[in-house]
A and B are shown apart, each in its own frame.
Chain A
């Protein structure tokens, strides 16, 4: 029977939420890895029982967990994220050069085509790949070795590679994004990379339209149209129709164009979701109202989705990896908050309900559509 499984990473453990296709009643399983930060969990699109989890701690470092039974049991796999070659440097907050130093895995992205291949985006920013289900990791060092590498700098949350998007029509093409270096694309399976930031404008930079240095918060694409990308930048919601070669702003009538997550409807490539946040100094929704905004026109024109969401005294944030959509006939949309709520909509965002209200702060939400 079809159903959905939500993989929720929080500040204090992992939770797995399951429901049938109605998405009205939910089972909550967890916490797994209680007390550890779970930055991200994701399942293989080729084998939904194969899950990966990034388990992290300020005391004990990085652990990588793998499940082969849909999250019932877990086993640690390799946690060696060793940068390839001589230690290089990047720009530090004060403008000096600083050695690359691995801190944690922000994002895990299982391959669309190879069942044992999985990508890991890490802080300090680099992309690693495992071709043996996480037993060993190897850096795709063409990215970090890009000519612009020494000028990359951390954002407030660290210099993290947080977004990995695979082109479902071309296994050699991958998009990634780094805070605060910007977006990059490879067309040769990760050997070489190209910054794709033309059209972005970031006023905090000495050169607001520089090739790199932009604080990209998240990128999304629809599998049927992989040359169209949507971006939530630090400020500005952006769109590209040429695989990132050029971007233009589509913030339109949003109450604020600051935010973190962005996602695309499972069946409508021009329907996009964002969660506007007041500002980079005040990481909560404007006016204390938690509103998802939906554009059915690929940007510019946005409508507030509020039914079932708190419309007063709400001061949570929604982090960049904490929104996902399922692919059931009536598209489900989900997001988690720093207040520990996970909200779901089974009708493309028209109506929302809290699935759970009192988890630890939510870092990431992914969804698996189970057949």
Chain B
């Protein structure tokens, strides 16, 4: 199972209070996690990746195991610590704006 920690507003939108735990088929990558996440929580469509062009929302970043993987390929396999639920994928919204 994959653990995912979403920003506050996306947790509200998905009506979850804490981490999401998700089964992801195949190779575990950012793409496969986000696809599985949106399949399970369709209200999140377009909120992390713009579903019209598949680009990451510019004010969001992705972290695993303390590393910023935002600019890695979306198809890069993620570390074992993510696969075995030791570490979550963290989606972080920029602290910006008013």
Contact = CB atoms under 8 A, between A and B. Distances in A.
Instruction: Name, among A35, A36, A61, the residue most crowded by chain B CB atoms within 10 Å (CB to CB).
Output: A61
A141 B52 CA distance: 17
Interface string A67-103: 0000000001001111000000000000000000010
Contacts of A59: 7, 9, 57, 59-60, 93-94
A59 B9 CA distance: 10
B46 A57 contact: no
A57 B52 CA distance: 16
B59 to A, nearest CB: 5
Interface string B1-28: 0000001111011000000000000000
Nearest to A81: B52
Contacts of A34: 12
Given A58-B97, A61-B46, A80-B52, A35 B9 contact: yes
A80 B53 CA distance: 11
A60 interface: yes
B50 interface: yes
B52 A60 contact: no
A36 B52 contact: no
Contacts, number: 43
Contact residues on A (Cβ < 8 Å of other chain), bracket: 10 to 19
Nearest to B42: A76
Given A76-B13, A82-B52, A61 B97 contact: no
B43 A76 contact: yes
Contacts of B60: 59-60
The interface centre, meaning the residue of A79, A81, A82 with most chain B CB atoms within 10 A of its CB, is A79
Contacts of A35: 8-9
Given A80-B51, A80-B52, A102-B52, A60 B43 contact: no
A368 interface: no
A62 interface: yes
B70 interface: no
Interface string B58-97: 0110000000000000000000000000000000011001
Interface string A24-64: 00000000001110000000000000000000011111110
24 contacts: A34-B12, A35-B9, A58-B59, A59-B9, A59-B59, A59-B60, A59-B94, A60-B9, A60-B13, A60-B47, A60-B60, A60-B93, A61-B46, A61-B50, A63-B13, A63-B43, A63-B47, A79-B45, A79-B46, A79-B51, A80-B45, A80-B52, A81-B52, A102-B52
Nearest first, the 8 A-B pairs at minimum CB distance are A60-B47, A76-B43, A59-B59, A59-B93, A61-B46, A79-B46, A82-B52, A61-B47
